[in-house]
């Protein structure tokens, strides 16, 4: 169920969003010239895929013979779906442990069982926050950035100019610290709990995942690119990069409440949905 936020809530959100990075800079040690204006909302343009950077290793994609096709209509007007994401577990980026997990997910996808996608079951996103298609906003404050995603009102907290904890407790979003660096927001995250995957293919990660996001806004303020580095020696033979692209949106995020799926995330089996044979009144 999706409902629009009230006028009062929208006004309050606009006041928060209008906090000027220049004003923030005046109360911080950073120069105003180094702080990007992240005023959104921002709309993800990746369509659930991690973007291939111009250099670096080839990212995990479709297993040969199993090309994913987004839902749509073919040239004859017939609805089609290639909605199952079968990941290439032979990609040389993967360690034997990583390949084994992705192979299991790929074999399930071939049988038309999508790999676990957290929002489908009302779980926190984990690293899939980078591929959520709904709008996202950034609240820039002295010492902290709050990232709010439309879907389920999920929230991340990025604490600025502080070190990581010595031994952060593993969690869905991990522990994020950040800094402004020559006009770029750099977010450094560790402490993930490894209960989700990175993408729709079911690419795995472990509690050793070290994620670095670099947010850069275009000069005209209409686009934003995020260069992402993944480092996890348990699952990948080397660190690797991906690109996420956003465009400036026109409307504030709506209130989007999660409705839990009837599909079992482990077996892929659909549980029966309760049906009333007659009205209660």
- Residue 121 has a pLDDT of 80
Burial class (CB in 10 A: 0-12, 13-18, 19+), 261: middle
Q: What is the mean pLDDT of the chain?
A: 85
Which pTM was predicted?
0.80
- Give per-residue pLDDT as tens, 251-275: 777 777 776 666 766 676 777 766 6
Higher-confidence position of 7 and 233 = 233
pLDDT higher than threshold 90 for residue 183: yes
pLDDT higher than threshold 80 for residue 225: yes
DSSP for 223-246 reads EEEEEEEEE-TTTBSS-EEEEEEE
| Percent of the chain's residues with pLDDT above 70 | 78
- Give per-residue pLDDT as tens, 126-181: 999 999 999 999 999 999 999 999 988 899 999 999 999 999 999 999 999 999 99
Q: What angle do CA 19, 21, 27 make, to 5 degrees?
A: 95
Nearest to 194 by CA among 165, 168, 172, 211: 172
pLDDT higher than threshold 50 for residue 37: yes
Domain boundaries, the chain: 2-68+80-256
pLDDT higher than threshold 50 for residue 24: no
Among the ranges given (20-34, 64-78, 109-123), the one the predictor scored with the smallest mean pLDDT: 20-34
pLDDT higher than threshold 60 for residue 34: yes
How far is the C-alpha of 62 from the C-alpha of 92, rounded, in Å?
14
pLDDT higher than threshold 60 for residue 2: no
Give SS3 for 2: strand
- Give per-residue pLDDT as tens, 49-98: 999 999 999 999 999 999 888 766 666 766 666 668 999 999 999 999 99
């Amino acid at each position: 169920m999706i409902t629009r936020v009230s006028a009062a809530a929208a006004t309050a959100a606009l006041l928060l969003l209008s906090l000027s990075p220049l004003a923030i800079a005046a109360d911080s040690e950073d120069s105003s010239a180094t702080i990007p204006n992240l005023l959104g909302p921002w709309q993800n343009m990746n369509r659930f895929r991690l973007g291939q950077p111009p250099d670096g290793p080839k990212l995990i994609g479709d297993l040969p013979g199993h090309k994913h096709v987004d839902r749509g209509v073919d040239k004859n007007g017939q609805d089609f779906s290639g909605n199952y994401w079968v990941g290439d577990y032979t990609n040389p980026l993967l360690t034997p442990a990583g390949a084994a997990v992705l192979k299991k997910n790929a074999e399930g996808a071939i049988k038309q069982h999508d790999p676990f996608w957290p929002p489908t079951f009302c779980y926190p996103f984990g690293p899939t926050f980078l591929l959520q298609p709904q709008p996202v906003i950034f609240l820039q404050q002295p010492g902290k950035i709050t990232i709010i995603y439309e879907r389920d009102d999920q929230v991340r907290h990025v604490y600025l100019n502080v070190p990581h904890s010595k031994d952060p407790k593993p969690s869905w979003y991990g522990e994020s610290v950040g800094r402004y660096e020559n006009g770029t927001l750099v977010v450094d995250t560790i402490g993930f709990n490894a209960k989700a995957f990175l993408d729709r293919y079911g690419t795995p990660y472990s509690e050793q995942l070290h994620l670095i996001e670099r947010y850069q806004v275009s000069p005209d303020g209409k686009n934003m690119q995020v260069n992402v580095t993944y480092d996890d020696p348990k699952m990948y033979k080397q660190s690797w990069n991906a690109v996420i692209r956003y465009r400036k949106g026109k409307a504030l995020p709506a209130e989007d409440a999660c409705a839990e799926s009837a599909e079992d995330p482990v077996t892929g089996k659909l549980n029966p949905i309760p049906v009333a044979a007659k009205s209660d009144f």
